[in-house]
Amino acid sequence: MKNNVVVAGWGQITQPKKIKAPADDPIGLMQKALAEAASRLNDPRHLSQADGILVVKSLSAHYPDPAADLAGRIGAHPKFLFESRIGGNSPQTLINRAAGMIARGELNMVLVAGAEAYVPRTGTVPGTDRATKLDSALLQGIPEDYDGDDASGVTPLETQYGIEHPMQGFPLFETALWAASGKSIEAHIKDVAGFWAGFSRTAASHPFAWSKQPRTPEEIRIPSTRNRPIAFPYTKFMNAFVTVDQGAAVILMSEDYAIKYGSARGNTVFFCGGGYAEDRQRYMIQKTDFTSSPPLKAAVDKALERSGKKLDDIDAFDLYSCFPCAVSIAKKMIGISDADPRPLTLTGGLGFFGGPGNNYNLHAVATLCQMIAEGKVTTGLTTALGWFMHKHAAGIYSAIPPDKDLCAMDIEDRNDYLTGPYPIEIDPAPSGRGVIDTYTIVYTRDRQPDYAVIYGRTSDNLRFIARTREDKHVFNSLATECMIGKSVRLSCDTKTGLTIAEIPG
């Protein structure tokens, strides 16, 4: 007998920057989000009956066993505890796993929660009398004992050339999309700012958004004192905003449990199917195409097939939106046209709603579930992204119960998740002729070009990474004229040991 999976509760919390009470740490925010989720049950005390707790890894605070800590705070004694790895795909990946376990009858009620407390502030640590500054993950970094292979999204070679963080890496995809558009940089960025402004308007009306300020396309695309250029072609308002305090949670149950413990309030929300995939081309330096993402397509295709849905059945999307390029590539891979009227975000995205570390997607899921319960949406799809277009998860939620069994879903994806072409071979010390595939210019805080990084191919079709000369004319050429496909001359700078690409003209 098929065991349907129901999202019986969902909750979100945004902790304001200025508060009178002591600030909650991430687990405190998770606890409050779960309390909100439990308010949808016929008795909130049923939360303690959970037999599974899965927690999205927090980066703003390090916990040895956060799932156990959370269980203790809510008085639960689950038989299954789990913490995710690093990556924005984590919430949906955890939901997929929990749903599979429920479908197989291994668990009946599973809590999935996550939160970040990035805002530096002085607060009282729960359980103690001492006050401490809750430092952001930008200061704490990855825990020293973390042994996952996803602690970094780049290779040491890329780090050597100044590509390390998302704000430096994702612009490489946008530059490639600019070239593919065939438009001038002004026309391309005008298009980008136009749809990004729409995201800001969505955030402005979301009750849990960090930013309630809608932005015009001009505010987004034109550099200013409040909107400095970060890395070409992106300004600050095109970047994810991570310095937020936000938490979210969902309660998953078997349909039988949902009938027993759930609430008749609003439409029942079914989890219909999910998918997960990773790129064989693990790092950006290994990628052969900066305008596509085979694993994103694979994850969505799996979710659609497992749910028995077609793309036309989807009423609304929340496409992972750390940067505009992530949305553009998702549209391309899924097959969503520019003229499609269906919403691409339900929250406003990471740039405006807020980008709480690994956990943004759980806010998208909670928002979608609320919309389904209220009858605003019948069926919706969310996508979730880890690192530089590397790890992808997708989930489909609906008021209509699925007609397929989800027992094998998560097991299949854990055993078979790699997709796409094999990595391009790298030449770490190239010389001679090369061709540009993509590039970015990284700026200083006073809005001046700092350095430019080029990804390209040698005459032997090997990947190279290089800096350019630090020359204002070179920077200006890269920012105004599309150099992708142009030839460069590669040589080694004996002072720095870096490869230098000489730009023509």
Digit-coded pLDDT (tens) for 379-438: 999 999 999 999 999 999 999 999 999 999 999 999 999 999 999 999 999 999 999 999
| pLDDT on residue 258 | 94
DSSP 3-state of 150? coil
- Which tokens go with 424? 């391009």
Q: How confident is the model at residue 134 (pLDDT cuts 50, 70, 90)?
A: very low
CA 330 → CA 132, 282, 310, 389, distances in Å?
41, 18, 16, 10
Cα–Cα distances (Å) from 465 to 160, 218, 391, 424, in that order, read 10, 33, 23, 13
Q: Residues 330-381: pLDDT tens digits?
A: 999 999 999 999 999 999 999 999 999 999 999 999 999 999 999 999 999 9
What confidence tens digit (pLDDT) does each residue in 175-188 have?
A: 999 999 999 999 99
CB < 8 Å & 24+ apart, contacts of 201-204: 201/348, 202/343, 202/345, 202/346, 202/347, 202/348, 202/349, 202/352, 202/353, 203/347, 203/348, 203/349, 203/352, 203/353, 204/348, 204/352
Same-domain check for residues 407 and 462: no
Measured CA to CA in angstroms, residue 377 lies from 304, 317, 342 at distances of 17, 10, 11
List pLDDT tens digits, range 69-85. 999 999 999 999 999 99
- For residue 90, pLDDT over 70 is answered with yes
Domain end (from 235, 259, 288)? 235
The confidence score (pLDDT) of residue 262 equals 82
Residue 135 lies in a domain: no
Question: pLDDT at position 120, please?
Answer: 77
Longest C-alpha distance within the chain, in Å? 73
Q: What is the CATH number of the domain that holds 96?
A: 3.40.47.10
**Taking 60 as the threshold, does the pLDDT of residue 475 lie above it?**
yes
The helices-and-strands tally (H runs, E runs) of the chain is: 14, 19
Give the Cα separation of 109 and 100 in Å (integer): 12
CA angle 353–355–360, rounded 5-degree value? 90
Q: Establish how many alpha carbons lie within 13 A of residue 450's alpha carbon, considering only the half-sphere containing its beta carbon.
A: 15
Query: Do 272 and 376 belong to one domain?
Result: yes
The pLDDT tens digits of the residues spanning 282-334 come to: 999 999 999 999 999 999 999 999 999 999 999 999 999 999 999 999 999 99
Q: What is the pLDDT of residue 139?
A: 45
The SS3 assignment for 95 reads helix
- The reply to whether omega before 233 is within 30° of 0 (cis) is yes
Q: Quick one: pLDDT at residue 46?
A: 92
Regarding beta strands 245-254 and 379-386, do their DSSP bridges make them parallel or antiparallel, or are they unpaired? unpaired
Nearest to 328 by CA among 393, 368, 385, 391: 385
Instruction: Please give the backbone phi and psi of residue 197, each rounded to the nearest 5 degrees, phi first.
Output: -65, -35
- Whole-number Å distance between alpha carbons of 17 and 244: 8
Least confident residue range of 29-33, 58-62, 190-194? 58-62
8: burial class by Cβ within 10 Å (0-12, 13-18, 19+)?
buried
Average pLDDT, the chain: 94
The 3-state DSSP class for residue 454 equals: strand
Dihedral sign, CA of 125, 131, 137, 142? Answer: negative
With contact defined as beta carbons under 8 Å apart, do 352 and 382 qualify?
A: no
Instruction: Indicate if 98 and 208 belong to the same structural domain.
Output: no
Are the beta carbons of 321 and 195 closer than 8 angstroms? no
Vertex 460 angle, CA 455 and 461, to 5°: 45
Rounded CA-CA distance 332/291 in Å is 9
* 131 bridge partner residues: 124
At residue 141, the pLDDT reads 63
Confidence of residue 145 (pLDDT cuts 50, 70, 90): confident
Count of the separate structural domains present in the chain: 3
Q: In the prediction, which pLDDT does 138 show?
A: 44
Element (H, E) at 114: strand 109-117
Q: How far is the C-alpha of 174 from the C-alpha of 398, rounded, in Å?
A: 33
308 and 376 part of one domain: yes
Is 188 inside any structural domain?
A: yes
Residues for the chain: how many in total?
505
Judge whether residue 121 has pLDDT over 70. Answer: no
Whole-number Å distance between alpha carbons of 196 and 301: 26
Give yes or no for residue 130 having a pLDDT over 60. Answer: no
Q: Please, which pLDDT band fits residue 140 given cuts at 50, 70 and 90?
A: low
Q: Are residues 14 and 40 in the same domain?
A: yes
- Give residue-wise pLDDT tens across range 256-278: 999 999 876 788 999 999 999 99
Domain boundary (393, 419, 445) is at: 419
Instruction: Spell out the SS3 assignment of 126-140.
Output: CCCCCEEECCCHHHH
For residue 126, is it within any domain?
Answer: no
Which pair of tokens denotes residue 24? 């909650």
Q: Which residues face 316 on adjacent strands?
A: 380
Can you list the alpha helix ranges (DSSP code H) found in 212-336? 217-221, 255-261, 294-307, 324-334
Q: Which residue has the tokens 């997929």?
A: 96
- Mean per-residue pLDDT, 3-8: 96
Asked whether residue 246 falls in the same domain as residue 97, the answer is yes
Boundary-marking domain end, from 395, 419, 443 = 419
The pLDDT value recorded for residue 333 is 98
Shared domain for 340 and 408, answered yes or no, is yes
Same domain? 46 vs 109: yes
Judge whether 339 lies within some domain. yes
Confidence band of 505 (pLDDT split at 50, 70, 90): low
Q: What is the pLDDT of residue 137?
A: 42
Residue 185 pLDDT: 98
| 315 shares a domain with 181 | no
Report how far residue 392's alpha carbon sits from residue 418's, in angstroms, rounded to the nearest whole number: 11
Confirm whether 139 is domain-assigned.
Answer: no
Q: Check if the beta carbon of residue 407 is closer than 8 Å to that of residue 104.
A: yes
CATH (domain of 472): 2.40.50.840
The per-residue pLDDT for 131 is: 46
Shared domain check, 351 and 468: no
Same domain, 377 and 346: yes
> Has residue 334 been placed in a domain?
yes
Residue 249 corresponds to which tokens in the numbers above? 């949670």
Contact between 3 and 255 (Cβ < 8 Å): yes
Which DSSP letter does residue 401 get?
P
What is the residue range of 174's domain? Answer: 156-235
Residue 133 clears pLDDT 60, i.e. is over it: no
What's the pLDDT band for 22 if we cut at 50, 70, 90? Answer: confident
Residues 345, 471: one domain?
no
- Does 144 reside within a domain? no
> Across residues 218-235, what is the average pLDDT?
97
Note whether residue 132 is domain-resident. no
Higher pLDDT among residues 23 and 52, named by residue: 52
